Each structure stands twice: as structure tokens, then as C-alpha cells.
């Protein structure tokens, strides 16, 4: 009886593994890919004023045009917290990918 339970469990695990591998193979065949970006490293801090800018995203695009705006805007949110309402904020001295 114990061996029957063990055999059923092993068959279930094998079937589950086969399904997962098959799904991954189908996704890769269809062009699915995973891109791993190195983390962004920002250093320093300075206060800046952006009178004609409505979001951290726009500031990230203007201040760091060669960096990924998603990563820079995340750094701006961490430095200043919450939503941008205009006015003076803290901006990193520089940002680059590691």
C-alpha cells in the first residue's frame, strides 16, 4: 500500500514536470523571452526644481536620457516618496547600470 502511494506520487510529479517543461518550450518557441537587466546604481543627491514637469517619469527622461526611465523614476520615488506634485525635489547626482 505504501509503495502504491509512492508510485502515484512519483507519477504525479513526473507528469507535472512534463507539463511545465512543455509549456516553457511552447512559450520559447512562440518568441517568449526573459530579459535580465542589471540593477541601476544611483549616487549622490541634489535638489532641483522642475516647474513644467508633471511626473517622476518625465523628470527621469529629461535628467537621465540614456538610462531606463523606469529605473530612474523608481529611484526618484524612493528619494522623495509618493506622488510628485511639482516643486523642488531631490535628484541623484548620477545613475548608471552596474
Q: How does pLDDT run across 72-81, given as a tens digit for each residue?
A: 888 899 888 8
85 compared with 48, residue with greater pLDDT: 48
Number of domains in the chain: 2
Residues 50 and 27 in one domain: no
What would the grid cell of residue 14 be? Answer: 513526473
Residues 30 and 61 in one domain: no
| Calpha distance 34→45 (Å, rounded) | 33
67 compared with 13, residue with greater pLDDT: 13
pLDDT at 18: 96
pLDDT band of residue 98 (cuts 50, 70, 90) is low
Longest CA–CA separation in the chain, Å: 75
Residues 59 and 92 in one domain: yes
Residue 54 phi, psi dihedral angles, 5° rounding = -105, -10
pTM over 0.75: no
Full domain range(s) for residue 26: 1-34
pLDDT at 68: 82
pLDDT digits 0-9 by tens, 5-50: 889 999 999 999 999 999 999 988 888 877 777 777 888 889 998 8
Amino acid at each position: 500500500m505504501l509503495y502504491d502511494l509512492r508510485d502515484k506520487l512519483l507519477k504525479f510529479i513526473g507528469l507535472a514536470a512534463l507539463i511545465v517543461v512543455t509549456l516553457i518550450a511552447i512559450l520559447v518557441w512562440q518568441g517568449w523571452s526573459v530579459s535580465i537587466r542589471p540593477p541601476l546604481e544611483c549616487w549622490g543627491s541634489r535638489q532641483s526644481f522642475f516647474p513644467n514637469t508633471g511626473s517622476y517619469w518625465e523628470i527621469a527622461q529629461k535628467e537621465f536620457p540614456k538610462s531606463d526611465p523606469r529605473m530612474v523614476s523608481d529611484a526618484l520615488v524612493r528619494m522623495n516618496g509618493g506622488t510628485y506634485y511639482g516643486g523642488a525635489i531631490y535628484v541623484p547626482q548620477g545613475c548608471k547600470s552596474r
